[in-house]
Each structure stands twice: as C-alpha cells, then as structure tokens.
Amino acid sequence: MKAKSLYTLLITLFLLPLFVKAQSSEEQKTIVSVERIWDRAAHNAFTSLINYKGKLYCTFRESNGHVSEINGSIRVIVSDDEQNWRSIAFLSEKDVDLRDPQLSVTPDGRIMLNFGGSYYVGETLVKMKPKVSFSDENGMNFSEPQDIVLDDKLHSGKDWLWKATWHQGTVYAGIYQPVKNGTQVVLAKSSNGINYQYVTRFDIPRSANETVLRFDDAGKMIAVVRCAGGSGNGYIGISAPPYTKWQWNELSEQLGGPDLIILPNKKLLCGTRLYQLGVSDQMVLSKVSVSGNYIKLVTLPSGGDCSYPGMVILNNKLYVSYYSSHEEKTAIYLARLWLDRVESLTENEPVPEPVITFNKNGRVELSCSDPEAEIRYSLDGSTPAKHSPLYQDPIKVTHTTELRVKSFKGDQPASRTLFTVIGTDVMQPAQRIMDTPRPGLNYSYYEGEVSAVREIELLPLKKSSVIPNFSLEPKDRDINFAFTYKGYIEIPKDGLYTFYLASNDGSKFYIDGFGLINNDGGHGEIERSASASLKKGFHKIALKYFQMGGQRSLRVFWKGPGFDKTEIPPSVLFR
C-alpha cells in the first residue's frame, strides 16, 4: 500500500468516531455516502454544483492556500454517473488570483461560470473584478474569462459578485464591496450576465458580504447573507418584486460560504460552516426560516478550513459539494443524502430551549419545559453536542465564562443554543508581582498560514521584542502572519471592567490566565466583548492574533468605573 493511501486510511479511521459521535442516528441514516472527488492541487476549495442535462458539474478554485502566494485558478469537472469525474475546463489569468467560482444555467441553455479576480501589488490587494465565462450548448467548452461590466452606481473598484441566480430571464446577484468601517452588499441584475444594473442596497446593520439568492413559488426573493461585525451572525431577508423593499432578520449563528436550496416541501436548507470556538469548524446543513430561525440538522465529515457548498436535487437524493481540510490536505468532497429523510428532518419540531433560572456569584441553575429533555452545556465557547457535559447540578465558575446550553431528546432536532456570560460578578484578585513591572508588552511574531489561534505557536517564530501596546506595526508582511502579546494591565480601582476585542482575522484575549474574549476563526472585522470584576492592581494579560489573507486589523478597548469605552492606553500596559 502506498504511504499516501495508508496515511489517508489512518486519518479516516481516527476521525470516523468523531464524526459518528457528532451525529444522531437520524443524521447517520440520512447520509448515503461521502467521497473525496478531487485533490490534485495543494489547496482545492470554494465549490459550486449544478445539474446540467442530467450530469453533475462541479467547479472550485485550485491554488496552494486559502489566500496564497500563488494566484488561484478555476477548474470545472463533470460526472456522467455521479461516481466518476473528469476535468473539462481550467481557467487562469496571468497575475490575477481567481476564486469563488459559481455555476448557473442561462435561459438559452448554456452554463454560466462566475468568479472573482483579485489583483495584487506585492502582498497588497489593489482591486477586485467580477468575471464570467460561458460554455457552449453542450457544456463542454468554456469561453475565455471576460470582465463583468457594472453601472456607475455599482462600481467601486473592489467589487465581488457572488452566486448569480437566474429568475424569469434575468440574473440577480449580491455584490459586496468595501465601505467605511466594513463592507456592504448591493443587489444587481442583468439580462445577459455581463452588464449589471443597480437594484438596491441591503440595509443590514453590520458588514455584509457573501450572499446567496433564491426565489420561492410566489416569485419572492430570499437572501441569506454572511456578516462580520457585532456578533458575526448571518442575516436572512425576503422581498417581493421589484426587490427594493426587504424584511430582514438576524440568524442565531455565524455563516461561512453559505448556500441555500428550497426543498420540495418548501423548507429552506442552508449549507454553511459551523464555527465552533476552540473546536474545529465543520460543514453543516441547517434549516432556516425567513423569521430568523436556524436549526442544525446534519454534520458532514469535515474539519478546519471547510464549507462553501453547492447543493443539487437529483434522482431523489440531495447532492452536496464542499471542501474540507480534515484529511491530509484541503480537498473537494461530494455527499449524497436521501432527500425524503432530509425533508423529514426539516419537518420535526425542535426540543424546547433551556431556561436559566438562577445566575449569581458564579452559580447557574437551568431547566427545560420538557422534563424528558437532556440539557448539555459547554464552558469553552464550543456549540454543545450530545457528548458535551450533562447538566445535573448547578454549574459553578470562578471567573467570567461563556456558557452555552442546548436541549436534546432522542432523534428529535435539538433546541437552539442558548448563550450567556456567567461569573462576571466574581471579583478577581490582583497578581502578586515580585519585580517592578516595566512599560510595554512582550510580543512574538510568526509567519505562515493558520486558521485558529491554537495553531499560532506551531508556526516558525520570526522575531520577538517589546511593544508599547497591541499593534500590528512590527509585521514584515501583509498576509499570513500572527502575533502573541504578553504582559500586565494595571487596574486603577476595584470594579467591573468591560474589554472589547476587534480583529480581522482571529484573536483571543486572556486575563489572569483564562480566556475572556474568544474572537477566533477566519473572518472580517468582528468586535466581541466581555466583562470581569477586577481588584485594583496588576492583572496578567495575553492576546493571540492571526491574519489569514485579505484585510487585517486589531484593536483592543476597555471601559471601567469612571471612564467610557476607549482604546487601552500604553500607560497601563506593563511586562
């Protein structure tokens, strides 16, 4: 047996119990098979899937990393029998990073392939252009990529068109673009897939980006939008023609590379990344509704850098393409699921949510209106699962802690996750320091690609020194780098202090040895906050941050007795 095959087998055997543990028996019955269908590049990611003339077409990006030093290319593969795959197109442009390919079928029966082009000068992104290619009438030959033309009201110079969707002879797409303090999504339409006109701007109260559009039987447009900023949770909206007035609701989960399909029973199924703080992310299928409900139904074998699915219904099965890095490399996978069992999962009512009945002095008591339900919880920021600790007695903590709880009952869909922060009223004593603290923080600087803060110190250390505050200035490059900072903060008086951590990409803030704010994972700028009761004096602090491509930012604020929210000044930071 070849070494690579043996390695894959060992990894699969090691991870299989983890996937089985994460799934209910109903989930396991729903999945027919999962196969790795492409892994020829170093990094294969960002998929789209369509049924064209009875054949499955899948497209994705090939490169050497999520955001790489080598420009990405687009590949299209096809299967006649849903088992065997062959490449029919490979698109690239000199000095342009091509990514996020999406497939659709035009009214005249051709395949339309949308993707974006990123242009860099060194490591600096200078412009972004949406592009398109069309197949012939047989779906075998694709045209050379051409730039999409945006009208003056749409064009910004950094425009990203995502998941174009045809409806009654017109194609619609959400285009996300930078604005002050984030990104916005504008809705655009075209009659030919090349020239787009402005329709409206999505009025979502945080940085909106990746957007998928679908149409119900009444012709209403449904949009699911990935967001950054605030909680980072996604949004779902609905609008009647001409799609200029929208009703929006926040979902209860963060989204990553979402796709949406309307099942034959009219339920909405969203494929997305499940972000699990402190635990490897996974590719999941969830039921969503325009009212904002989000219920995870199925977890697919996956881990780490993953998601960006495509979904197709064919021959009474649901086919899901996606990428994942849970085996020895980032590869493309195809899952087959029984359609009737997926629909059955969407019909079941979830277990009632747990209720917090007492929360004081680090002691929490919980209950559920269904006496037969089990309450599972986590204190590490991860989403509770059936193998998480079982609530039986009051939960006790000694410092500020994220509590997440969820109700389970047999194969019935689990409840929504209830999230709260506990222990903020437990006073933390100051540290006893033998030597006189000196101004500034110790920092260590690393280079390489990671997707979680736990991976930072596995990277090669490039340098270490002292810095006055939390800053990215010592970096030697603009992408794929990381910092750790360590030191003390001087608390001026006893009281409740709130800390705010804003970063692009992931970060985590520690005080007195425990994780106070977890802002981990790859994402645009998101600000998270947490509070702690602190005694006057010096308290140990640490911060971990990584950048994995695109933009970069890191800011740390605080608020306390007698002063409002402000950036933490160097005068209170020591080592």
User: 374-387: per-residue pLDDT in tens?
Assistant: 999 998 877 888 88
Could you tell me the two tokens for 134?
């069309």
Q: How confident is the model at residue 522 (pLDDT cuts 50, 70, 90)?
A: confident
For range 136-145, the mean pLDDT: 95
How high is the pLDDT of residue 416?
81
For range 457-463, the mean pLDDT: 93
* Three-state SS at 455: helix
Per the CB < 8 A criterion, the answer to whether 218 and 178 are in contact is no
Tens-digit pLDDT profile for residues 300-341 = 999 888 999 999 999 999 999 999 999 988 999 999 999 999
pTM attached to this predicted model: 0.75
More confident residue, 192 or 67: 192
- Residue with the two structure tokens 């990393």: 65
For range 51-59, the mean pLDDT: 97
The C-alpha atoms of residue 558 and residue 568 are separated, in whole angstroms, by 6
The C-alpha atoms of residue 77 and residue 159 are separated, in whole angstroms, by 27
Torsions phi, psi for 431 (to 5 deg): -80, 145
The C-alpha atoms of residue 101 and residue 145 are separated, in whole angstroms, by 12
Angle at CA 76, nearest 5°, toward 268 and 125? 85
For range 266-292, the mean pLDDT: 88
The C-alpha atoms of residue 198 and residue 160 are separated, in whole angstroms, by 14
How high is the pLDDT of residue 229?
60
The C-alpha atoms of residue 530 and residue 518 are separated, in whole angstroms, by 9
Longest dimension (CA), the chain: 78
Say if residue 572's pLDDT is above 90: yes
For range 130-156, the mean pLDDT: 95
Domains and their CATH numbers in the chain: 42-147 (2.115.10.20), 355-422 (2.60.40), 441-574 (2.60.120.1560)
Helix (H) or strand (E) holding 490: strand 481-491
Cα of 360 vs its chain's centroid, Å: 33
* Three-state SS at 193: coil
Per the CB < 8 A criterion, the answer to whether 46 and 65 are in contact is no
Could you tell me the two tokens for 104?
């659709």
Least confident of 58-72, 400-414, 457-471, 537-551: 58-72
Tens-digit pLDDT profile for residues 407-428 = 999 878 888 888 888 999 999 9
Tens-digit pLDDT profile for residues 340-383 = 999 999 998 889 989 999 999 899 999 999 999 999 999 887 78
- Residue with the two structure tokens 């600790």: 389
Q: What is the DSSP letter of 514?
A: E
How high is the pLDDT of residue 346?
93
Q: How confident is the model at residue 69 (pLDDT cuts 50, 70, 90)?
A: low
Amino acid identity at 46:
F
H helices of 23-61, in order, are: 25-30
Radius of gyration of the chain (CA): 24
